[in-house]
Amino acid sequence: MEKSQVLQRVVITGMGALTPIGNNAKDFWQGLISGTSGAAPITKFNAAKFKTKFACELKNFDIHHFIEKSEARRYDPYTQYALVAVEEAVKHAGINFDNLNRNRIGVIWGSGNGGIQTFQEQVAEFAKGDGTPRFNPFFIPKMIVDIASGIISIKYGLRGVNFTTVSACATSNTAIIDSFNHIRWGKADMIITGGSEAAVNETAVGGFNASRALSTRNDDPATASRPFDISRDGFVMGEGAGALVLESYDHAIKRNATILAEVVGGGMTADAYHLTGTHPDGEGAYLGMLEAMNEAGIQASDIDYLNVHATSTPMGDTSELKAVARVFEPNTTLNISATKSMTGHLLGAAGAIEAIACINAIREGIIPPTINTKEVEPAFADKFNLTLGKAVHKTVNYAMSNTFGFGGHIATSLFKKFEG
């Protein structure tokens, strides 16, 4: 077999997180297994006239504890969040770039909206004026969706593959799968990947309200995200970032890295059905899960934990469980959980933090819960173990993560307990 045809094993050696329930990977995990809700009234703007007045915002976070004020002003919050999560992941992975070939290290980052906060601010400022264009010189580089991957590479001097994925709420899972592929194809030794989102603002909340996607449970925000519950009424907006360091097994062993888990499969498909709605039978989700398992060479019965997309929308949750039923059949031994019930929906960053949840489930032998769900859709109530209410201990050898995006984008990643 030619060298170009030999697929490399791909492992995870570092993680970083900035989320509504924890400002680093350790605190995020503790928030998950404790069943903490990150939802609360919006503080970033006056939401009094909005249909939805709450979100899952970052808490007790000051970017100037991480980045100098003069530098931070050049970046939209989504890029700021990316830099914070990546710095943690790089430290966690024990990387000294001076000892590595930076030409073989890349960045594949994702965001669904990019600098939407910057775009909103600059257009609003222009609209208040007399028509004279007075735009911030950083407007375009702060706003464009690819800038975070560029800034990460500049900070660390990484000259390998560099691009940004955009597949709406499947974005950072797409980035992880692309990174997995580039490394196993031998095109990179290491890739920093993940996603970030900073969309708790008037534009995004108003837009999602207009499309009737957000929950309006303003009287009780903490329980608003309730996946699979018959009373669910929409998703809760979240913000933050998740970062992973992926590298080839050989590269990780050579630098004596601690290996956290292995990436063994990825499925990217499409519903090909509707602008914003999922296929009623979860056709794309079904195909994505099958593709990930086929690539890993395993059966549905091998999977111990499934982190579902489960945003708490009426149509989306039902279609996903239909797809899960087709793949796994009624199965109460498979643990399923919807961690968006705690974090809210981080849009383009969702797949990254949910990958971290899967990796920790494998390493710690703990399944994070689905909170707030009291009465499951009758058609599925007795068919699946949705890990309701509290975390459970369980040996996890394989964990799968589903993410779906507007436009019908599907990305499913598959992780395995590392064995040398």
Q: Per-residue pLDDT tens for 62-87?
A: 999 999 999 999 999 999 999 999 99
Strand partners, 194: 109, 243
- State mean pLDDT over 91-104: 98
Q: Per-residue pLDDT tens for 331-347?
A: 788 999 999 999 999 99
Question: pLDDT confidence of 1, banded at 50, 70, 90?
Answer: very low
Q: Which fold has domain 266-416?
A: Peroxisomal Thiolase; Chain A, domain 1 (3.40.47)
What is the percentage of the chain residues whose pLDDT exceeds 90? 95
Query: Looking at the predicted structure, is the pLDDT value of residue 316 above 70?
Result: yes
Which residue type, as a one-letter code, is found at position 110? Answer: G
What phi and psi values does residue 186 have, to the nearest 5 degrees?
Answer: 85, 15
Q: Per-residue pLDDT tens for 369-398?
A: 999 999 999 989 888 999 999 999 999 999
Q: Per-residue pLDDT tens for 231-260?
A: 999 999 999 999 999 999 999 999 999 999
10-254 and 266-416 agree in CATH topology: yes
Query: What is the domain partition of the chain in residue ranges?
Result: 10-254, 266-416
The whole-angstrom separation of Cα 318 and Cα 114 is 29
Say which CATH class 10-254 falls into: alpha beta
Any idea which residues carry the catalytic annotation? 169, 309, 345
The whole-angstrom separation of Cα 237 and Cα 289 is 25
**Tokens linked to 408:** 């019908």
Sign for the CA dihedral angle at 205, 195, 339, 95 comes to negative
Which residue type, as a one-letter code, is found at position 222? Answer: A
Q: How far is CA 305 from the centre of its chain?
A: 17
Query: Which residues fall within 8 angstroms of residue 113, CB to CB, at 6 or more apart?
Result: 78, 145, 197, 198, 199, 204, 347, 348
Closest CA to 253 of 396, 418, 85: 418
The whole-angstrom separation of Cα 349 and Cα 339 is 13
Which residue type, as a one-letter code, is found at position 26? Answer: K
- Exposed e or buried b per residue across 130-151, where buried means at least 16 C-beta atoms within 10 angstroms of its C-beta: eeeeeeeebbebbbbbbbbbbb
Within 10 angstroms of residue 281's Cβ, the number of other Cβ atoms is: 16
pLDDT value, residue 229: 97
Question: pLDDT confidence of 2, banded at 50, 70, 90?
Answer: very low
The whole-angstrom separation of Cα 43 and Cα 324 is 37
Query: Looking at the predicted structure, is the pLDDT value of residue 407 above 90?
Result: yes
